[in-house]
Structure 1
Amino acid sequence: MNCVLDLKRKVVGVRFLFTEKEFEETQAEKTKGRMPYCKMINRAMGGDKIKVDFDNFGCFAAARVLGIVDLDDWYTSGHYYGKCGLYQDMPTAKEITDSISKCNHKCYGIEIMPLEEFNMEPHVVIIATNTFNTMRLIQGHAYKYGTHTGYKFIGGQAMCAECTAHPYATNDINISLLCVGTRRSGFNEDEIGIGIPLRKFLEMVDGLCKTVTPTEPNIRKKVIEEKLNAHGVSDVEIIYNKNYGDNMHKHDFAYFKKRDEQ
């Protein structure tokens, strides 16, 4: 994946830890202090290996949807968002609250670090990147699974609900346009978030590699091929002077020419 795409941040894995014993046995270091969950993800995308529990959460909207704390009446009634000014009235805030993806479990903590560092399978993979790379990833997903119609985003609770809870709860991918809190935690204005269950991530990467030949121009194919060779990856087929658009247009021109002649 890192050879096919030009990623500025590390791909991150998230693993839920359901008991104190499981939390203590993880390889990551417990971080100090409180911070927003999106800041935790940002740190891991920079290379940090951390585990967090209740004492580390500085954003309880995230703690709620991830299962660190219970859903309380103030939140479920819509008052949490009804008082913040994001929505025009309480019924809208209540509908938003009900529709936000939640894990519906109780966990002790969470392990967050670059995907490459895990020695146990994480539950969710999170990527933050630009629109071009997002397009290519979705093409990789479409190669395997066809059209996905279940995207859900509201520009709020981006990393916690849209990129973590939703993929975990639905066992499917999701895209997030991120949110104000996420961008305050160090994400850029042109970045998009993608949350993916691990198994589908592996399939998406295979689809990503399978679509290099039909989607990429020769100049990018050369760069990708050089990176693959440098990392000893030999099972990605790249064919030059072949692109799905060219082939489709050639077929169309031949078809319409023949039709007009007839």
Structure 2
Amino acid sequence: MKKEIYIDAVKKMNCVLDLKRKVVGVRFLFTKEEFESAQAPRQNGKLTYCKMINRAMDGSQIKADFNNFGCFAAARVLGIVDLDDWYTSGHYYGKCGLYQDMPTAKEVTDNISKCNHKSYGVEIMPLEKFDIEPHVVIIATNTFNTMRFIQGHAYKYGTHKGYKFLGNQAMCAECTAHPYATNDINISLLCVGTRKSGFNDDEVGIGISFRKFLEVVDGLCKTVTPAEPNRRKKEIEEKLDEHGISDVSIIYDKNYGDGMHKHDFSYFKKRDED
């Protein structure tokens, strides 16, 4: 796929939504050779995966292998290290205090999304910087923008029944492993580790497979007319014009709520009269 296609998608998304952070891509690097040839510079020292994502959302480009991971929880679910008995038995979370007992911790451990692969490392950077398609796209934003993005997904795919979150392993499991494993979308309410890594209290995470991200951006654009008021339509149109984007159609004085209730009332009134 030509790079211009996803650069265009990022531009459209930033016109339709008021994003404060960059849209980030994540690419799994499965061999040492693939890692060495990846375009991003290697991370110096150790960082949590959440912090890597945070820095990429500020514009940084990072590639990291096992030696750069400061969080074993993330390294496990991303396939950087193997699952060990201490983790799979439930002891890892059984000792942390998040869950009332070992059976609960074991159930949570079993159901945290994990990549069923062995990966040498990951490459993380703003989506528009990738020369090779990433596997997953991650967004951190407010609840309004999340709502609009989900409306874009629903426009294309209808009701999504596979959301999975529990306030734990947000960026690694909920925003990366789950979208990758399901080839779909997920929402995360983030977690304590993510908040400590620089994410704000009012932010929500979205993870989605790369190809579906492109489709959802199209759905996002197509729902501007039914979802947005005239004031926001004008702001969006001005930003689209500023970026030279002419293939997003916006109709003023038209919203999915306009006249809908009147139609309902008239229907029931006519039914009652009949």
For this structure pair, what is the TM-score category when the shorter chain's length is used for normalisation?
Answer: over 0.9
Paired AA for residue 152 in structure 1: K
Alignment equivalent of 1:236, drawn from 231, 243, 248: 248
Structure 1 residue 251: deviation in Å? Answer: 1.4
User: 5 Å matches for 1:1-262?
Assistant: 1-262=13-274
Paired AA for residue 13 in structure 1: G
Distance 1:4 1:192 in 2: 18
Distance 1:75 1:173 in 2: 26
Aligned residues: 262
Distance 2:79 2:61 in 1: 21
What are the superposed Cα offsets for residues 179-236 of structure 1, whole Å, 9 maximum, x if unpaired?
0000000000000000000111111100000000000000000000000010011011
Gaps (5+ residues) in structure 1? Answer: none
Distance 1:39 1:130 in 2: 19
Paired AA for residue 228 in structure 2: E
Partner of 2:10 in structure 1?
none
What are the superposed Cα offsets for residues 126-159 of structure 1, whole Å, 9 maximum, x if unpaired?
0000000000000000000000011111100000
Paired AA for residue 81 in structure 2: V
User: 3-state DSSP class of the match of 1:30?
Assistant: coil
Distance 2:42 2:241 in 1: 37
TM-score normalised by L of structure 1: 0.98
Paired AA for residue 159 in structure 2: T
Structure 1 residue 258: deviation in Å? Answer: 2.4
Runs of 4+ residues deviating >2 angstroms: 256-262
What are the superposed Cα offsets for residues 6-26 of structure 1, whole Å, 9 maximum, x if unpaired?
000000000000011111111
TM-score normalised by L of structure 2: 0.94
Structure 1 residue 260: deviation in Å? Answer: 4.0
Distance 1:191 1:3 in 2: 19
User: 3-state DSSP class of the match of 1:102?
Assistant: coil
Paired AA for residue 44 in structure 1: A
Paired AA for residue 111 in structure 2: S
Distance 1:68 1:211 in 2: 39
